Amino acid sequence: MNPEFYGEEHRIFRETFNKFLQKEVVPNIDEWEREGIIPKETWRKMGCQGFLCPWLEERYGGVGAGFEYSVIITEELAYTGTHSLMAYLHSDIVAPYIDTYGSEAQKEKWLPACASGDIILSIAMTEPSTGSDLAAIRTRAVREGDYYIINGQKTFISNGINSNLVVVACRTGTDSVSTKKGISLICVEEDSPGFSRGRNLDKMGFCSQDTAELFFNDCRVPVANLLGKEGDGFYYMMEKLQQERLILTVLAQAMAEAMLDMTIRYCKERKAFGQPISSFQHNTFKIVDMATEIELGRTFLDSLIADHIAQKDIVKKVSMGKAWIAEMANRVAYQCVQLYGGYGYMEEYPICRFARDVRVTTIFGGTSEIMKRIVARIMDL
């Protein structure tokens, strides 16, 4: 652990959370993978133990914990192979929008239930024809008296089936599509008239994580559900993407570490031609190369975490980090499966699921290509 931001209390918290996962989640994850969803009761158990939104102020149900606790939660979800329980999306990506831009009434209404697990959050940005280009969203909200009438469609929405509250990016202004102006964030509650969900999407990986299409057909939402100022939504999203991408980088790094660890154990136990396959020079060098890349990733990531805790602007570096570490984790996945041989292709071995799941880390939260484009723009290239 990095001594800059970890102490004894963090070690104890990590052990406590790991024990919770081993008892409540790990024994059930295979069944949930088959069912394609994690029961809402598991979220409430998380909340009951203080593992959701721990950074919230006590008056909103949190304990005012630092960001490092969010890092620990995300890492342990990956280390235990339970990363499809996307607590990090709920706690560290979506909830901060409400905490930062929400009114006091909105915070009091929603945040305590976010901490307890009675509300599960999702954020709806992506549309069928709009991925990383957030300025091109078409979902529109028109004000009629005390309500917004929302029409549009969202897709690939994580927590899309389970979520009780969805932060929806939509156009409220008269500006044309593909402009940053006129985009707002509106909170849509699950029982809002005109709001419906499509099917639970059948994905390559993260199978127990519910991902859905969301539909808004003359969906009526109170104006009081607007987050912050009308028309400033695009800038709010840009402000929050630093932490979102950092959390997803933590996930990718931890998954790479978990894959290497399980592969080393397997290679030491598995024998071919009378000796452990880890002892063959080609395999040894392959493992060492992976370990080196993972060590480089960890060093870079820890520096990003420390800078983020210190409230520094790390948009350039976190974009570099997400692109490189996510791609590195995928290289690790490929080599680990190769070292397992045929067994690496079998679902009964965790490496098979990890290899499928890690693929999306180069896509969600902004693709590797978009990350490089951001860095290039900052470098004035």
Average pLDDT of span 306-317: 96
Residue type, 82: T
pLDDT digits (tens, 9 = 90+) for 260-288: 999 999 999 998 898 998 989 999 999 99
Report residue 321 as tokens. Answer: 């980090």
Binned at pLDDT 50, 70 and 90, residue 4 comes out as: confident
CA distance 19 to 307: 29
Q: What is residue 364's three-state secondary structure?
A: coil
Give the CB-side neighbour count of residue 79, counting CA atoms within 13 A.
Answer: 14
Which long-range contacts does 263-267 make (Cβ < 8 Å, 24+ apart)? 263/287, 263/336, 263/339, 263/340, 263/351, 266/339, 266/340, 266/343, 266/351, 267/339
Q: Closest by alpha carbon to 198, among 241, 155, 230?
A: 155
Q: Is the pLDDT reported for residue 133 higher than 80?
A: no
Contact 354, 81 (CB under 8 A): yes
Query: Could you tell me if 278 and 261 are in contact, meaning their C-beta atoms sit under 8 angstroms apart?
Result: no
Per-residue pLDDT at 130: 79
Query: What would be the CATH architecture of the domain defined by 8-119?
Result: Orthogonal Bundle (1.10)
Rounded to two decimals, the pTM is 0.95
CB 285 within 8 A of CB 277: no
CA distances from 140 to 151, 170, 179 (A): 6, 5, 13
Give the separation between CA 235 and CA 185, rounded to whole angstroms. 10
Half-sphere exposure of residue 332: CA atoms within 13 angstroms, side-chain side? 34
Question: Which residue is catalytic, options 244, 269, 293, 348?
Answer: 244
* Bridge partners (DSSP) listed for residue 196: 215
Say which residues have a Cβ less than 8 Å from residue 278's Cβ, sequence separation at least 6: 264, 267, 268, 284, 287
CA quadruple 318, 374, 131, 177: dihedral positive or negative?
positive
Identify the band that residue 178 occupies on the pLDDT scale cut at 50, 70 and 90: low
Residue ranges of domains in the chain: 8-119, 122-231, 235-378
> Which pLDDT value is given to residue 97?
98
Specify whether 244 is catalytic. Answer: yes
Of 250, 209, 187, which Cα lies nearest the Cα of 25? 209
Q: Single out the residue of 284, 253, 269 nearest to residue 361, CA to CA.
A: 253
Q: Is the pLDDT of residue 121 over 90?
A: yes
pLDDT band at 187 (very low <50, low <70, confident <90, very high): very high
| pLDDT the model gives residue 181 | 82
Looking at the chain, the number of H-run helices and the number of E-run strands are: 12, 10
The whole-angstrom separation of Cα 207 and Cα 32 is: 8
Domain at 122-231, CATH from 3.40.50.300, 2.40.110.10, 2.170.190.11, 2.170.130.10? 2.40.110.10
Q: Is the dihedral of CA 342, 343, 346, 350 positive or negative?
A: negative
What average pLDDT does the segment 106-125 reach? 98
Classify domain 235-378 by CATH architecture. Answer: Up-down Bundle (1.20)
Tokens of 247: 């959390």
Q: What is the pLDDT of residues 47-70, one digit of tens each?
A: 999 999 999 999 999 999 999 999
Average pLDDT for 30-38: 97
Whether residue 186 is predicted with pLDDT greater than 80 in this model: the reply is: yes
| Gap between the Cα atoms of 246 and 248, Å rounded | 5
Cα–Cα distances (Å) from 252 to 161, 282, 348, in that order, read 24, 26, 22
Residues 252/361, Cβ–Cβ less than 8 Å: yes
258, 78 in Cβ contact below 8 A?
yes
